[in-house]
Amino acid sequence: MSRFGRICIYCSSSDEIPPVYRAAATAMGQKLVADGIGLVFGGGRVGLMGVLADAVLSGGGEVFGVIPEKLQDLELGHTGCTELHVVENMHTRKAKMMDLADAFIAMPGGYGTMEEVFEAATWGQLNYHRKPVGLLNVDGFFDPIVQWVDHAVAQGFVRPVHAELMAVASTPAALLAKLEHASVPGLEDWMSPSSQE
């Protein structure tokens, strides 16, 4: 049985993407259902968000969407969610998604996806939460991010203790296995009055 009741997954709202990413979203949704894990997501019916939510719902799993009023007014919300939370803005959306979830995963996406997963990682680094974060590296999509982390560690911008703050794997099963055993370093283990973020 998974340690996670719900996992928040950040992913693309674009429909103009190669089929490999859609297949990965379906596989991710099916794996969540198989492990008895509920989905928390951005509440959209389009792009990978829609594919992912549909995969969980079709397997009988629970789906918790969180969408800003502005996007809901454009009729972009997924109407099949177990619960759809309509919130005031993007800041409220992200906070609500973090509160609802026990872990975070980024699938391939654009600016919004990257902003969300880096915020989740940063909040974990600073112990505003102690929930693990992962990247589903479909078809090498996140290879440049992995390289950037290595470079940032080598240059002293990211501490070695945070080098693996975001777990990385290419399949849903492998990533969930990593997250099951992941831990977030305690602030007291690395922060001192003289250190900098």
Give 120-145 pLDDT, tens digit per residue.
999 999 999 999 999 999 999 999 99
What percent of the chain stands above pLDDT 70? 96
Residues 6+ apart with CB under 8 A from 142: 106, 108, 135, 136, 168
Rounded mean pLDDT, 159-165: 94
pLDDT over 80 (residue 28) = yes
196 has a pLDDT exceeding 70:
no
Residue 115, C-beta contacts closer than 8 angstroms, at least 6 positions apart: none
d(CA 80, CA 153): 42
Q: Is residue 194 pLDDT above 60, yes or no?
A: no
pLDDT band at 187; cut points 50, 70, 90: confident
CB 75 within 8 A of CB 45: no
Query: What is the pLDDT at residue 193?
Result: 52
Which parts of 18-98 are beta strand (E)?
38-41, 63-68, 83-87
Q: What predicted TM-score, i.e. pTM, was given to this entire model? A: 0.93
Q: Which fold has domain 6-184?
A: Rossmann fold (3.40.50)
Per residue in 34-86, pLDDT (tens digit) is 999 999 999 989 999 999 999 999 999 999 999 999 988 776 789 899 999 99
- The residue among 187 and 156 whose pLDDT is bigger is 156
- In this prediction, residue 55 carries a pLDDT of 98
